[in-house]
Amino acid sequence: MAKQKTTVGTINDDVLTFTAGRDVELDHALIVVDCIGTAAHVSMLAKMPVKPKLIAESERKQVVEGLVEIIGLAQKNKFKIKLADQDVHLAVERTLTQKLGDLGKKIHTCRSRNDQVAVDLRLYAKEQLLATLEEATELVAVLTAFGKKHEAVPMVGRTHMQPGMPSSVGLWATAHAESLLDDCVTLINAFELNDQCPLGSAASYGVPLPIDRQLTSDLLGFSRPTHNVLYANNSRGKMEGIVLSAMSQVMLSLSRLAQDFMLFTMPEFDYFKLPAEFCTGSSIMPQKQNPDVCELVRAKASRVKAAELGVYDLIKGSPTGYNRDLQEAKELFMEGIATTRACLRITAPMVKATKVNKKALIDGFSPDVFATDRALELVGEGMPFRDAYHYIKENLHELEGIDPAEAIRLKTHLGAPMGLDWNYFKGRTAAVKEMVREERKAFNKAVSKLLGVNYPLN
């Protein structure tokens, strides 16, 4: 059987193809962060207090310059990962060795590929989480603006899908906005847990040389290193699952929003009108405008949750230490994040362009929708609640002619249709955006200093 020589040994061609899996393809998303991680590791090695020095300062500069060159190639989609490389890590090492000779062979000192993929995925997740937060706050802003614009438009509030009490379009829209703001808290929690540098674990058990894990962490702009080197490795999969769990919460909010749109744009409701450009037609029925975007968002929520559960299943029975099963988590991780971000990006402009049918919303009110409000008014006049409850139940005919707009105007307490605090939504949204700006600024500053060039590269 044919064999192929690689950096880590001669491997049967079929085994090489099987074990490399989709890494050759997926790892293109990790080229830049792998180079950044390598730059930090080599910079740490250059400062390690050993004699003779493992890497001289002049050699460190050569390696970093070579890594910056690779980053530039990657940004132009010109850096190639070969099957013989197996992954981005060995592709970068091969390229540096071809360029720098024996110096390129030194860069893997005191680390393993487990180390590299762990830090690569954390750096990748850092940027992906920040981008997701940006996109989530954009949708929050759109929903908040939609709610404020239609704050006083009455809308039947439903329980069990049946008419319940007077509500408003403003209340409906900002309920979804607040759900996403809470999802941002979950994303930030995931970001903070992810913001630990695992480098220095090597093959899970540390190394017999005086590496400086704190320095490496600082060079990469992490908040701190993971402490236990074995857990640094064991956190693989767990961390991906935590991030995907946060993503699945976002998708849960999006799925419920999409479901509402599908219901309330039905002709039987006609409360909202989706923009035509966000609908698709039928291949046989000329009149159709289908809410395919909403249906796909709903379906993709299941895909993201499946990715989270897939990672969980991969690691729940894994013994301590690295196991190759983790390779299968990468695709699920990347797909779950990409799907969530795509759904956020498509939903925001759809909501922004949606039209509100005020007449249909008001026509949707029947007298019984006012039953609870009227019972509470009787309580305010001195009647015990249960007596008021039964009185209204037996005299629903008295509810004829109540104005829905007037009914919601009476609801002024905190968070009610006419008690919505618009500064609350504005403030929480601004706080998330500021967090994203500060974290990205700090990371870019750290990487720019590390690479000796402005990052991101132009």
Which candidate, 171, 162, 151, 166, places its Cα nearest to that of 374? Answer: 166
To the query of whether residue 112 is one of the catalytic residues in this protein, the response is: no
d(CA 81, CA 74): 10
> Do the Cβ atoms of 132 and 124 come closer than 8 Å?
no
> Do the Cβ atoms of 143 and 176 come closer than 8 Å?
yes
Task: Retrieve residue 357's tokens.
Answer: 């049918």
> Do the Cβ atoms of 30 and 88 come closer than 8 Å?
yes
Task: Retrieve residue 165's tokens.
Answer: 């009490």
Question: Of the residues 43, 167, 245, 282, which is catalytic?
Answer: 282
Name every residue whose Cβ is closer than 8 Å to that of residue 269 and which is 6 or more positions away in sequence.
Answer: 263, 360, 364
Name every residue whose Cβ is closer than 8 Å to that of residue 34 and which is 6 or more positions away in sequence.
Answer: 27, 88, 89, 92, 116, 120
Alpha-carbon dihedral sign for residues 429, 432, 437, 440: negative
Task: Retrieve residue 436's tokens.
Answer: 């994203």
Name every residue whose Cβ is closer than 8 Å to that of residue 194 and which is 6 or more positions away in sequence.
Answer: 122, 125, 126, 129, 239, 242, 243
Question: Of the residues 43, 112, 160, 204, which is catalytic?
Answer: 160
Task: Retrieve residue 288's tokens.
Answer: 């159709």
Task: Retrieve residue 47's tokens.
Answer: 């400062």
Of all helices (H) and strands (E), which one includes residue 413? Answer: none
Task: Retrieve residue 249's tokens.
Answer: 């919460």
Q: What is the CA radius of gyration of the chain?
A: 28
To the query of whether residue 204 is one of the catalytic residues in this protein, the response is: no
Buried b / exposed e across 301-334, counting CB within 10 Å, b at 16+? bebbbbbbebbbebbeeeeeebbeebbbbbbbbb
Dihedral of the alpha carbons of 347, 352, 353, 358, in degrees to the nearest 10: 120
d(CA 455, CA 401): 65
d(CA 376, CA 368): 14
The catalytic residues are 160, 282
